[in-house]
Structure 1
Amino acid sequence: MENSIYNSMLSANQLLEKQTIISNNLANISTSGFKEKFNYILQVPDTNNFYNNYNKVIKEYYNLYPGILRHTERNLDVFIKDDGWLTVKDMNGQEAYTKNGHLKINSKNKLTIQNNEVIGRNGSITIPNNVNLKILSDGIITTVEKNKNKIFQTQLDQLKLVHLPSQHLIQKENGLFYLKINHQLNQDSNNINNINRNIRLQSGMLEESNVNPSKNMIEMISNARQFEMQMKMISVCDQNSERANQLIDINN
């Protein structure tokens, strides 16, 4: 009976973890470039522990398929094609990666994404005041000036675009992706440390979140019902235990 209660509690905790992930997915439906996350839970037999028959192994997966594209006609909105990623510096100064191409210029004239500084060729990208910007398909940022019916373009910097192995990615609470620690020392210098010149982007467009609201809502309802079943199972086991104790007292 104790084993039944233990298994029910284990299942209930797993369902709560799933609900947390689904809630986060639904909360980011309107976040540009957000990638849907889900956990796959495995019950692996534990041959070293007689009382605990299974070990819980949680594997995180991300749906990296592109979301719907939206035309914004804004020069600082970019869509990164295929498996390319933009590189930013998070609040702790660590390099991170994102598909969110909604670029902004902060009060310090730094190019940012969600308050994280965008990384270029030599670090953060500084934008001069009162300039018209244009971002080319290879990530080169130029200023555009018109003088005597002629258009002049001056190169400012270049976005650091990288290819990332999806199996080595992990997403943190800030919504940014990072390379797992055991893979950071073996990065391909052509793809990670340097700008990858094979990646292309398109300006004036944004990639929307790829979260499927209908699917996530159905899973949330299903998990809630399963959680109720586990709670009822625990309650039934508890009642049976009380009745068994009463019978033992009567017999004594």
Structure 2
Amino acid sequence: MENAIYHSMMSAKQLLEKQTIISNNLANISTNGFKEKFNYILQDENTNNLFNNHHPIIKEYYNLSPGILHHTQRNLDLFIKDDGWLTVKDINGEEAYTKNGHLKINAARKLTIQDNEVVGHNSNIEIPDNVNLKILSNGIITVIEKKNKKIFTNQIGALKLVSLPWQNLIQKENGLFYLKKDFKSNKYSHIINHNNNIRVQAGFLESSNVNTSKNMIEMISNARQFEMQMKMISTCDQNFEYANQLININN
């Protein structure tokens, strides 16, 4: 009976964790470039390990397939092709990666994505006042100026575009992706360098790749399974009470 309660409690805990992930997926349906997150559980088949702190191993994985492409006709909207990623600095100054190509210029004339500064290739990116920007397919940022009826194009920087090892990625609550740190040293296994082969396309945005129907079905299924585990625990608790009553009667 103790085994049954243990299994039910562990299953309920895992279902709650799944619901949290699914809720986050559904909350980001409208987030540009968002990638679905799931987890799967590696069960320990040795029942002798149930009470020896051997818990199921939960692994996370991400659906990195592209979302639907939308034509925005905005120069600062970018679609990062194939396995390419944009590089940003989070609020802690840590390098992170995103597929969200909705760029904005903040008050300090910096390119940002969701208030995170965009990292440049070999130099910081500063946007001059009152200029028209154009981002080329290789990530080079140019300004277009018209003087004396002539058009001048000058390069002011370039985006840091990277290709990431998907097996070493982890997504944090801010929606950005990071490289997993080495367990022993608590440092990144290596630094990701700019990749000259990555291409972007201006005027387009990639939508979230969350499958709404699939996530809703998973959420309903998990809720029903959670109710079943709660009923199992309640039934075991009642059986304990009946057993205690019988013992008291016999005594």
TM-score of the aligned structures, taking structure 2 as reference length:
0.94
Match of 2:18 in 1: 18
Match of 1:74 in 2: 74
Query: Are the structure 2 counterparts of residues 115 and 53 from structure 1 closer, same or farther at C-alpha, using a change threshold of 3 Å?
Result: closer
2:105 aligned with 1:91, yes or no? Answer: no
CA distance in 1, matches of 2:127, 2:98: 21
Query: Are the structure 2 counterparts of residues 53 and 169 from structure 1 closer, same or farther at C-alpha, using a change threshold of 3 Å?
Result: closer
For residue 186 of structure 1, the aligned residue among 185, 190, 195 is 190
Identical pairs, percent: 75
Match of 1:116 in 2: 116
Deviation at 1:120, TM superposition (A): 0.4
Match of 1:62 in 2: 62
Unmatched 5+ residue regions in structure 1? none
The answer (yes or no) to whether the contact 1:70–1:208 under 8 Å persists in 2 is: yes
Match of 1:170 in 2: 170
CA distance in 2, matches of 1:130, 1:53: 62
Number of matched pairs: 247
The answer (yes or no) to whether the contact 2:123–2:157 under 8 Å persists in 1 is: no
Q: Which moved more, 1:37-46 or 1:109-118?
A: 37-46
Query: Are the structure 2 counterparts of residues 129 and 225 from structure 1 closer, same or farther at C-alpha, using a change threshold of 3 Å?
Result: same
Unmatched 5+ residue regions in structure 2? none
2:132 aligned with 1:132, yes or no? Answer: yes
Query: Are the structure 2 counterparts of residues 104 and 53 from structure 1 closer, same or farther at C-alpha, using a change threshold of 3 Å?
Result: closer
2:196 aligned with 1:197, yes or no? Answer: yes
TM-score of the aligned structures, taking structure 1 as reference length:
0.94
The answer (yes or no) to whether the contact 2:120–2:158 under 8 Å persists in 1 is: yes
Match of 1:147 in 2: 147
Q: What is the letter of the counterpart of residue 114 of structure 1?
A: Q
Deviation at 1:54, TM superposition (A): 5.0
> What secondary structure sits across from 2:230 in the alignment?
helix
Match of 2:213 in 1: 214
> What secondary structure sits across from 1:60 in the alignment?
strand
> What secondary structure sits across from 1:181 in the alignment?
coil
Match of 1:244 in 2: 243
The answer (yes or no) to whether the contact 1:139–1:160 under 8 Å persists in 2 is: yes
